[in-house]
Amino acid sequence: MRWEEFKGALRDFLFGLFYFDLYWDTKREAAKLRDAVNLLLLGEFLGIPLMTTPLLLRLLPYLLPELEGWKKRQLRERDITEDVPETV
Mean pLDDT, residues 15-19: 89
Report the distance separating Cα 74 and Cα 32, nearest Å: 11
Residue 72, amino acid: K
Total-model pTM: 0.55
Q: What is the mean pLDDT of the chain?
A: 81
Output the pLDDT for position 39.
78
Best CA proximity match to 56, nearest among 44, 74, 70: 44
Report the distance separating Cα 44 and Cα 68, nearest Å: 15
Mean pLDDT, residues 68-80: 78
Residue 43, amino acid: G
